[in-house]
Amino acid sequence: MSASYDVIVVGCGNAALCAALSAQEQGAKVLVLERAPKEECGGNSTFTGGAFRMVCRGLEDVRKVVDLTEEEIATADFEDYTAEKYLDDLGRLTQYRIDPDLAETLVNRSTDTVVWLKSKGVRFVSRFGTQAFKHEGRFKFFGGTMVGANGGAELIDAEIKAAVKAGITIRYNARAIALLQGRDGIEGVRIVDERVEEDIRARSVVLASGGFEANREWRTRYLGAGWDLAKVRGSRYNTGDGIQMALDIGAQPYGNWSSAHACEWDMNAPEYGDLVVGDAFSKHSYPLGIMLNADGQRFCDEGEDVYNYTYAKLGRTLLAQPAQFAWQIFDSKVISKLRSSYRIKRSTKVSANSLEELVGKLDGVDKEQALKTIREYNAAVNQDVPLNPNEKDGRGTIGLAIPKTNWAQTIDTPPFEAHGVTCGITFTFGGLKITTDAEVLDVRERPIPGLYGAGELVGGVFYFNYPGGAGLMNGAVFGRIAGKNAGAYALG
**Does residue 34 belong to the site contacting ligand FAD (CB under 6 A)?**
yes
**Which of 70-78, 127-135, 383-391, 467-475 is the region at the interface with ligand FAD (rule: CB under 6 A)?**
467-475
**Does residue 208 belong to the site contacting ligand FAD (CB under 6 A)?**
yes
**Does residue 428 belong to the site contacting ligand FAD (CB under 6 A)?**
no
**Does residue 440 belong to the site contacting ligand FAD (CB under 6 A)?**
no
**Which of 36-44, 197-205, 292-300, 304-312 is the region at the interface with ligand FAD (rule: CB under 6 A)?**
36-44
Contacting residue, 44, 181, 285, 435, with ligand FAD by CB under 6 A: 44
Contacting residue, 9, 50, 61, 94, with ligand FAD by CB under 6 A: 50
Please say which residue, 43 or 396, places its beta carbon nearer to ligand FAD.
43
Please say which residue, 35 or 404, places its beta carbon nearer to ligand FAD.
35
**Does residue 111 belong to the site contacting ligand FAD (CB under 6 A)?**
no
**Does residue 49 belong to the site contacting ligand FAD (CB under 6 A)?**
yes
**Does residue 315 belong to the site contacting ligand FAD (CB under 6 A)?**
no
Tell me how many degrees the CA angle 255-258-259 measures, rounded to the nearest 5: 80
**CB 94, CB 141: distance < 8 Å:** no
Burial 358-374 (b: 16+ CB within 10 A, else e): bbeebeebbeebbbebb
Q: Total binding residues for ligand FAD by CB under 6 A?
A: 44
Please say which residue, 209 or 293, places its beta carbon nearer to ligand FAD.
209
Distance (Å, whole) CA 236 – CA 177: 16
User: Within 113-172, which residues bind ligand FAD (CB under 6 A)?
Assistant: none
**CB 147, CB 60: distance < 8 Å:** no
**Does residue 427 belong to the site contacting ligand FAD (CB under 6 A)?**
yes
- Nearest distance in Å: CB 236, ligand FAD: 9
**Which of 37-45, 70-78, 86-94, 199-207 is the region at the interface with ligand FAD (rule: CB under 6 A)?**
37-45
**Does residue 266 belong to the site contacting ligand FAD (CB under 6 A)?**
no
Q: Is the dihedral of CA 257, 479, 99, 83 positive or negative?
A: negative
Please say which residue, 111 or 293, places its beta carbon nearer to ligand FAD.
111
**CB 181, CB 45: distance < 8 Å:** no
Contacting residue, 47, 78, 222, 254, with ligand FAD by CB under 6 A: 47
User: Within 443-462, which residues bind ligand FAD (CB under 6 A)?
Assistant: 455-456
Residues contacting 198, CB < 8 A, separation 6+? 2, 190, 191, 192
Contacting residue, 7, 9, 15, 55, with ligand FAD by CB under 6 A: 15
**Does residue 472 belong to the site contacting ligand FAD (CB under 6 A)?**
yes
**Does residue 35 belong to the site contacting ligand FAD (CB under 6 A)?**
yes
- Nearest distance in Å: CB 354, ligand FAD: 34
Distance (Å, whole) CA 381 – CA 376: 9
- Nearest distance in Å: CB 298, ligand FAD: 26
**Which of 41-49, 97-105, 129-137, 222-230 is the region at the interface with ligand FAD (rule: CB under 6 A)?**
41-49
Contacting residue, 469, 484, 485, 486, with ligand FAD by CB under 6 A: 469
- Nearest distance in Å: CB 232, ligand FAD: 8
Can you give the binding site for ligand FAD, defined by CB under 6 A? 10-16, 33-36, 41-45, 47-51, 175-176, 208-210, 233-235, 237-238, 241, 273, 279, 426-427, 455-456, 469-473, 475
